[in-house]
Amino acid sequence: MNPLTDEKISLPTSNSDQENIDLFLAKHENKKVVVVQGLGFVGAVMSIVCANALTEEYAVIGVDLANEQNYWKIKSINEGHFPIIAQDPKIQEFYNNSRAKENFLATYDPMAYSYADVIIVDINLDVAKDSNKMNDLNGYKVDLNAFKKAMTSIGQHCQEDVLLLVETTVPPGTCQKVVKPIIEEELTKRNLSIEKIKMGHSYERVMPGPQYIDSIQNFYRVYSGIDEKSADATEVFLRTIISTENYPLTRLGNTNATEMAKVLENSYRAMNIAFIVEWTRFAEEAGVNIYEVVKAIRMRPTHKNIMLPGIGVGGYCLTKDPLLASWAKQNLFSGDELQQSEIGVKINDKMPVYAFEFLKKNVVGLNKKKVLLLGVSYRQDVGDTRYTPVEIFYNCLEREGSQIYLHDPHVPFWEEKNIKVPQDLLTQLDTEPDVIVISTGHSLYKKNEVLINKIMEMKPILIYDTIGVFSPQEIETFKQKHQVKILGRGDL
């Protein structure tokens, strides 16, 4: 099923898509072929960035699996509908360009790899953990099997001198200790040389949202290669798709270094959030307004980056990257764990549970209340619900027995919960909720007069603003109306 259109889609019956590939390549005889493996939040957008490369005309083929979860994306791309809804207007523009130039094909046939000059790996590498089950998070599991299988598929088809560029966030050590041996083994099986292959690593810093395209095309990149020629080839390729004049590239000494840089920067953020979460609990215990304290501390230039607590940490990166790193340290190298980074994830994973408990403490009979959640995605102005903290918060409310209503302008369908999310804010406000939770800081909820007026007209209501979308003035207005009680950032 295509979740965007509800259209039923039957999966292809044959493994081969050779005809379409041939037709496509015939149109682009003298162009270099870039194949992107994975058509998710990174791969799909990376594909259109390559199809709109700055200094080169590429023929781009996106490859994903012909299964229930992914085939609709392939079909959608080839039929004129980009599979990702995003605030960034450049997404549609870039996709339209690629349609006009006919230089972007999507397929499920791994034969595509055999035509590639460059293969970009943008598949997922997940960590299995218990956070959604609200357990004690004592364990997590890094399973490389799907990733290894994808590498094998490339090794079975690729040319011996291809540039294989891994963008996936991987445990440090993966390119050297996992990718390289697999590719070399497969090339050897096919009696090909293992001397000519180029393997690079350059992690993406993609931000789904209003700067989606720019987070690839106009942003700093760090890269490396398993050897000098690989690093050189990676650099030459990146220069064709990134504005390197404004955002200079940084080459690091080896693939371990770039792999580490990626998970290090995300662990840094995750840890800084976890830090403030712990202190927020302390502040609650001591009757201290943590927002006021953080504001005072931020006046010091050295402390400007100190974060503020929210409903939780979500998304695909911060929730798992510290674990990927700690796992690698223990399993690909011979170290012990990254204690602080692991604890950071554990603290963060519990945030939505704390937020729920805080709400419960403030609402008598929450189990009989109507609760409207404004926002289900993990981050403002994006439609990405992967590991959204709102899911855990939702599960808590559900377990409590509350009647839950949802709204999110960017999420028509909540994949993980298999729920349709209403798109009309007014209709949802008309459900006469007892509690409104601002669970994602979408722009739509900020300075929204309709929303504010509607709230002012309501019967006695409690608002739990976990993000701080309401201004001090708006909060003052709410407070003047005795029927509106505000929690969270409203204390500021």
Closest separation in Å from C-beta 262 to a second copy:
9
**Alpha carbons 419 and 402: distance in angstroms, whole number:** 17
Query: Please, what is the minimum distance in Å from the beta carbon of residue 32 to a second copy?
Result: 28
Q: Which is nearer to a second copy, 338 or 461 (CB)?
A: 338
Shortest distance in whole angstroms from residue 332 CB to a second copy: 8
Q: Report the residue number, 4 or 264, with the smaller CB distance to a second copy.
A: 264
172 binds a second copy (CB under 8 A): yes
Beta carbon nearer to a second copy, 164 or 207: 207
Do 492 and 292 form a contact (C-beta atoms < 8 A)?
Answer: yes
- Please give the Cα distance from 392 to 384 (Å, whole number): 15
Ranges within 188-217 binding a second copy (CB under 8 A)? 205
Q: How far is the CB of 256 from a second copy (least distance, A)?
A: 4
Q: Which of 1, 54, 146, 296 binds a second copy (CB under 8 A)?
A: 296
Tell me the window of 52-60, 74-82, 225-233, 302-310 that interacts with a second copy (CB under 8 A). 302-310
Which CB atom, from 32 or from 350, has the smaller least distance to a second copy?
350
SS (H, E, C) the chain: CCCCCCCCCCCCCCCCCHHHHHHHHHCCCCCEEEEEECCCCCHHHHHHHHHCCCCCCEEEEEECCCCCCCHHHHHHHHCCCCCCCCCCHHHHHHHHHHHHHCCEEEECCHHHHHHCCEEEECCCCCEEECHHHCCCCCCEEECCHHHHHHHHHHHHHCCCCCEEEECCCCCCCHHHHHHHHHHHHHHHHCCCCCCCCEEEECCCCCCCCCCCCHHHHCCCEEEEECCHHHHHHHHHHHHHHCCCCCCCEEECCCHHHHHHHHHHHHHHHHHHHHHHHHHHHHHHHCCCCHHHHHHHHCCCHHHCCCCCCCCCCCCCCCCCHHHHHHHHHHHCCCCCCCHHHHHHHHHHHCHHHHHHHHHHHHCCCHHHCEEEEECCCCCCCCCCCCCCHHHHHHHHHHHHCCEEEEECCCCCEECCCCEECCCCHHHHHCCCCCEEEECCCCHHHCCCHHHHHHHHHCCCEEEEECCCCCCHHHHHHHHHCCCEEEEEHHHC
Whose CA is closest to 263, among 356, 328, 213? 328
Q: Name which of 299 and 364 has its Cβ closer to a second copy.
A: 299
Is residue 413 near a second copy by the rule CB under 8 A? no
C-beta closer to a second copy: residue 30 or 138: 138
Residue number with CB closer to a second copy (304 or 459): 304
Please, what is the minimum distance in Å from the beta carbon of residue 44 to a second copy?
24
Query: Does 243 engage in binding with a second copy (CB under 8 A)?
Result: no
Closer to a second copy at the Cβ: 36 or 273?
273
Helix axes 351-362, 255-285, angle to 10 degrees: 20
Q: What mask, x for binding a second copy by CB under 8 A, covers residues 318 to 357?
A: -------x---x---xxx--xxxx-xx--x----------
One symbol per residue from 244 to 283: x for binding a second copy (CB under 8 A), - otherwise; what is it?
------x-xxx-xx--xx--xx-xxx-xx-xx--xx-xxx
Cα-based distances in Å from 226 to 153, 185, 192:
20, 16, 19
- The single residue among 9, 238, 306, 458 that binds a second copy, judged by CB under 8 A, is 306
Looking at residues 54 to 113 of the shown chain, list those that interact with a second copy (rule: CB under 8 A). Answer: none
Cβ-based nearer residue to a second copy, 89 or 248 = 248
| C-alpha distance from residue 287 to each of 282, 284, 352, 355 (Å) | 9, 5, 21, 17
Site string for a second copy, 212-241 (x = CB under 8 A): --------x-x-------------------
Q: How far is the CB of 302 from a second copy (least distance, A)?
A: 7
Span from 24-32, 188-196, 297-305, 371-379 in contact with a second copy (CB under 8 A): 297-305
Among 11, 54, 288, 450, binds a second copy (CB under 8 A): 288
287 binds a second copy (CB under 8 A): yes
Provide the minimum distance between the beta carbon of 125 and a second copy in the complex, in angstroms, as a whole number: 18
Which range of residues in 2-10, 126-134, 295-303, 463-471 is near a second copy by CB under 8 A?
295-303
C-alpha–C-alpha distance, residues 73 and 39, integer Å: 7
Number of amino acids touching a second copy (CB under 8 A): 56
Instruction: Please select the residue that binds a second copy; options are 8, 10, 145, 304, rule is CB under 8 A.
Output: 304
Binding residues (CB under 8 A) for a second copy: these are 172-173, 205, 220, 222, 250, 252-254, 256-257, 260-261, 264-265, 267-269, 271-272, 274-275, 278-279, 281-283, 285-289, 292-293, 295-297, 299-300, 302-306, 325, 329, 333-335, 338-341, 343-344, 347
